Copies of this chain bind each other. A is one copy, B any other.
Amino acid sequence: MASKHFLTIKNMSKAVIEAEYAVRGTMSILAGKIGQGLKEGKKYPFTEITECNIGNPQVFGQAPFTYNRQVLSAVMNPELLKTNVYHKDVLKRAETYLKHAPSGLGAYSDSQGFKIVRENIAKFIEKRDGVASNPDNIYLTDGATFGLHVSLQTILSGPNDGVMLPIPQYPLYTALLSLNQAHKVPYYLNEEAGWKISIEGLQKSYDEAVKKGVNVRAIVVINPGNPTGQVLTAQEMLDTIEFAHRNKLVLLADEVYQRNIYKEGSKFVSFKKVVAENNKYPIDLFSFHSTSKGLMGECGIRGGYFELFNIDSAVQQQITKLRTMYLCPNTTGQVLTDLMINPPTAENSAPEVYEQFKREEQGIFDSLKYRAKMVTQFLKSMKGVTCNEVEGAMYAFPRIHLPKRAIEEAKAKNISPDLLYTMEGN
């Protein structure tokens, strides 16, 4: 019998069907069902569900910065500028945004984002890296996700194209590649060596893909690692850049966790800095940042940006055009992005404003650092579980050593052993 629908699973986009997004996959759906069951009074050996499948700090009680929300609310409703509910520094900051964006949050901004915000981001990058940054090369986005979407859409040109992805990885990449009908070229991080990138491993993955006819176009590096929590050393970064250069790959640097580094002596270094300072390997670089992570964890507001470095101007024109098709990033997220990279300082703020901000920032950082340590210790204390130290980001990635019989049982049920493990008890 013919379907009564014109649009069916048979004639819809194959690319959409093939895209898998594990973050909201089988386990997430099961958790949703159990959560619903708990609400309806069903009995489980626990009374609540804690959803740790995605970094969403404010769900767990992390408060937003007082200063940021005050400024955002005043930009949202400039009436507040005429009241005395906020410190004058807050009002001054809100006024600055409204001066540079006189139509406020309600008008479309430049497609690339408010100029004032791009200028401030460029200053932030220059200060961070000691390398020049041009506001024209910065594109504000609704979270890093949108930037990755636009970048991959620009780079990928046909069904033979492929992109190198770290394994374990943040599953968004696999999904975006499926949507763009491109090959996933996995490279394996070395768990025994603290999730290090192995250059031999990179080359091996690349060569294997090429042998299969894949036109490898780009490599994604997530630093600090998601979900593996490692922080790259300068040498690893340089080796990776040299590898990308040798094989003519565009580098996509996912640096959304640049503020989330907990390991003593470890420090975030941007790929841009390393590329710029080693002009032997002038690779094409896209760098991504977001307001969703870091210390603010403002996931829902959707802010972020990407910076182009050493990108052909004709290609950049196309990226700008593509960005215009999606009109503009949400303006609230743009202002929040500015607040992220341009926070109150001892120089530009009254002591009480600056001190409150610093106190809140330190509190969040200490809490994240403490939890990273606690989670690792707890996982390590479990029988049959090992876990590397969380150096950065917001995730621990344990290894579950399953008995042979469990693996055989999974095989018999035609599911993966880790899925069997996580589904146990239901």
Which chain A residues (351-390) contact chain B, with CB distance < 8 Å? Answer: none
Number of copies: 2
User: Given contacts A7-B284, A66-B79, A318-B12, are A58 and B156 in contact (CB under 8 A)?
Assistant: no
When chains A and B are docked, how far (Å) is the Cα of A5 from the Cα of B312?
6
Q: What per-residue 1/0 map shows which CB atoms of A1-15 lie under 8 Å from chain B?
A: 001111111011111
Chain B residue nearest to A114 (CB atoms) is B300
Q: Does A348 contact B (CB under 8 A)?
A: no
Chain B residue nearest to A172 (CB atoms) is B325
Instruction: Find out whether the CB atom of B325 lies under 8 angstroms from the CB atom of A8.
Output: no
Chain B residues near A172 (CB-CB < 8 A):
325
Chain B residue nearest to A317 (CB atoms) is B9
- By the criterion of a CB under 8 Å from any partner CB, how many residues of chain A are at the interface? 92
Q: Does A153 contact B (CB under 8 A)?
A: yes
Instruction: Find out whether the CB atom of A154 lies under 8 angstroms from the CB atom of B301.
Output: no
When chains A and B are docked, how far (Å) is the Cα of A327 from the Cα of B157?
25
Instruction: Find out whether the CB atom of B74 lies under 8 angstroms from the CB atom of A327.
Output: no
Instruction: Find out whether the CB atom of B104 lies under 8 angstroms from the CB atom of A21.
Output: no
Please pick, from B6, B145, B310, the residue contacting A249 in the complex, using a CB distance under 8 A: B6
A148 to chain B, nearest CB (A): 10
A141 to chain B, nearest CB (A): 11
Instruction: Find out whether the CB atom of A315 lies under 8 angstroms from the CB atom of B7.
Output: yes
Instruction: Find out whether the CB atom of B107 lies under 8 angstroms from the CB atom of A59.
Output: yes
Chain B residue nearest to A171 (CB atoms) is B325
Which chain A residues (131-175) contact chain B, with CB distance < 8 Å? Answer: 142-143, 145-146, 149, 153-158, 172, 175
When chains A and B are docked, how far (Å) is the Cα of A372 from the Cα of B217?
50
Q: Does A100 contact B (CB under 8 A)?
A: no
Q: What per-residue 1/0 map shows which CB atoms of A70-83 lie under 8 Å from chain B?
A: 10111011011001
When chains A and B are docked, how far (Å) is the Cα of A70 from the Cα of B73?
9
Which chain A residues (285-316) contact chain B, with CB distance < 8 Å? Answer: 292, 296-302, 310-312, 314-315
Chain B residues near A143 (CB-CB < 8 A):
327
Chain B residues near A198 (CB-CB < 8 A):
none
Instruction: Find out whether the CB atom of A330 lies under 8 angstroms from the CB atom of B327.
Output: no
5 new A-B contacts, CB < 8 A, other than A21-B321, A105-B298, are A5-B311, A7-B311, A69-B77, A72-B76, A330-B332
Q: List 19 A-B contacts (CB under 8 A).
A: A5-B311, A6-B248, A7-B155, A7-B311, A9-B312, A13-B156, A21-B321, A23-B324, A64-B106, A66-B79, A72-B77, A76-B76, A76-B332, A83-B85, A103-B300, A105-B300, A301-B330, A302-B331, A330-B332
